[in-house]
Amino acid sequence: MKTDYHIHTEFSCDSEAKMEEYVKQALERDIRMLCFTDHVDLNPDDYGYNYYNPEKFFEAFRKVKEQYGEQLTLCSGIEFGEPHLYADALKCLSAYPYDFIIGSIHWIGNMFPCQKVREQYSAKEFYTLYWKEVLSTVKQGGFDSLGHIDFPKRYYGEIYYVEPEIKEIFKRLLDGDRIIEINTSSLRKGHSETMPGKDLLQIYADCGGQYVTIGSDAHVEQEVGADYEAAKSLAEGLGIRQVVYRERKRVVL
């Protein structure tokens, strides 16, 4: 069943898309499940700092669900930045009736992999710092699926890791009964692989990872469901199954 479990709406600082427009596009594209996962960013350097408002989100979500809920399954979620640094805030937000929470690392301290940072740090240097943050966040938990695990790839265009460290990340993640997503947005930015690509997914499978969520990371409704088939066949080729979350519980499709 075609789904999209990572999309941004006007409740994210970097999107103006309306929930209803996503729903209309999804129905046209035969997408049967959608989960709205707006940004919650609490790093003071992020221009979406404190932008997210759960009350307003749920008000709009309930309206669109009332109108379209019989035509497709609509779910509520968030993409929470750096869960290990803002555990209390994440806990507070988790009291809302979300179906699904993505945990993502976008920032390392006050560093985002923008051009200025890329001029100062080689890919290897940046990734070395990045994986430490990822490890901290999988130890902390509080989320269901780890977002775009090799996120710097979207900016550096390459990936660097040492296998024991990645295995430790996957082990800690799976110990907490959490999983990763396959995020297809890198394909729309000219990269040849999803986030993660095949090599990391193979290590995930070797570590016992059985499930993934799949998301486009759309910020405009035209991107909903983008490259879903590519992500699904990549997962299936490695014996990994696609899942969704309802009321924070994993559902195998």
Where along the sequence are the contacts to Zn ion (CB under 5 A)? 79, 104, 217
Choose between 217 and 227: whose C-beta lies nearer to Zn ion.
217
Short-list 35, 32, 149, CA closest to 100: 35
How far separated are the first and last CA of the chain, in Å rounded?
7
Per the CB < 8 A criterion, the answer to whether 97 and 247 are in contact is yes
Choose between 84 and 205: whose C-beta lies nearer to Zn ion.
84
With vertex at residue 108, the alpha carbon angle to CA 105 and CA 113, rounded to the nearest 5 degrees, is 85
Short-list 159, 141, 225, CA closest to 196: 159
Nearest-angstrom CA–CA distance, 46 and 112? 9
Question: Which class for 167: exposed (0-12), middle (13-18), buried (19 or more C-beta within 10 A)?
Answer: middle
Question: Shortest distance, CB of residue 131 to Zn ion, whole angstroms?
Answer: 16
Helix (H), strand (E) at residue 169: helix 163-175
User: 94 - beta bridge partners?
Assistant: none
Backbone angles phi, psi at 58, to 5 degrees: -70, -30
Choose between 75 and 252: whose C-beta lies nearer to Zn ion.
75
Choose between 129 and 162: whose C-beta lies nearer to Zn ion.
129
Choose between 47 and 252: whose C-beta lies nearer to Zn ion.
47
Question: Shortest distance, CB of residue 215 to Zn ion, whole angstroms?
Answer: 8
Question: Shortest distance, CB of residue 198 to Zn ion, whole angstroms?
Answer: 21
Peptide bond into 164 cis (omega under 30): no
Choose between 104 and 242: whose C-beta lies nearer to Zn ion.
104
Question: Shortest distance, CB of residue 104 to Zn ion, whole angstroms?
Answer: 4
Choose between 79 and 150: whose C-beta lies nearer to Zn ion.
79
Question: Shortest distance, CB of residue 183 to Zn ion, whole angstroms?
Answer: 8
Question: Shortest distance, CB of residue 53 to Zn ion, whole angstroms?
Answer: 17
Question: Shortest distance, CB of residue 6 to Zn ion, whole angstroms?
Answer: 6
Nearest-angstrom CA–CA distance, 231 and 221? 19
